[in-house]
Structure 1
Amino acid sequence: MFDPALQRFMAMRVSTYEHFKPTPKTVAWGICLIVIPMLGYGYLLKSSREEKEAIYRRGEIAYHDRRFKFV
């Protein structure tokens, strides 16, 4: 059975990227939704790992009390 509305919908989904034009608004959305969270999460992981490493190197936590002994 041929449904014209469904056919138009499927054609629209296929050709979305052919008609996409980057604008300052779409670039800002991409930066806000992709780049900033990735950089923020990376910084959070790096700073927490460096803090734990400094505590381990100073000897404030004994080896048998560490959570990850082989990492």
Structure 2
Amino acid sequence: MSKQVYDIPPERQQVLRENASRRMELRNYFLKESSNPFKISDKSQGHLFDPAMQRYGALKVTEYERFKPNLKTFKYPFWILIVPFTITSYMMYTDRKNKEERFRSGLVSYKERTFKFM
């Protein structure tokens, strides 16, 4: 990082520099290990073990065991699934009701109906 950054306090700059150096160190280690032809050709160690990816995979497998319902987990299915389904169902119900009312009152002749066998 440049030392000419004025809107970040020096403590935060130090933390960012440490994070960047740790990121570069881990990146260089990964590149060194992943491009090692002897490790890749060995049948028992054909992959590069990453503990962070192992933890992530274990977390995704056991995700539902630690699920705790709250307002945030309720909002997504409610607004994405229940509300659109309810609105669509209501609109279809009122549309069909109005059509049936017009058909039964004689405002639409049999010849002008689109679906005659309803």
TM-score bracket, normalised by the shorter chain, equals 0.7 to 0.9
1:4 and 1:57 map into 2 onto residues whose CA distance is: 72
After the TM superposition, which parts of structure 1 deviate over 3 Å for at least 4 consecutive aligned residues?
1-13
Pick from 102, 106, 109: which aligns with 1:55? 102
Kindly provide the CA deviation profile for residues 2-43 of structure 1, in whole angstroms up to 9, marking residues without a partner as x: 353565554443222222211111112222222111111110
For 2:56 and 2:48, the matched residues in 1 are separated by 10
Give % identity. Answer: 32
Distance, in Å, in 1 between the alignment partners of 2:48 and 2:107 is: 70
Q: TM-score normalised to the size of structure 1?
A: 0.77
Question: Who wins on radius of gyration, i.e. which is larger?
Answer: 2
Q: CA RMSD in A?
A: 2.0
Distance 1:56 1:2, change over 3 A: same
**2: CA distance, partners of 1:32 / 1:53:** 31
Query: Which structure is richer in relative contact order (CA contacts within 8 A, separation 6 or more)?
Result: 1
Moved more, 38-47 or 2-11: 2-11
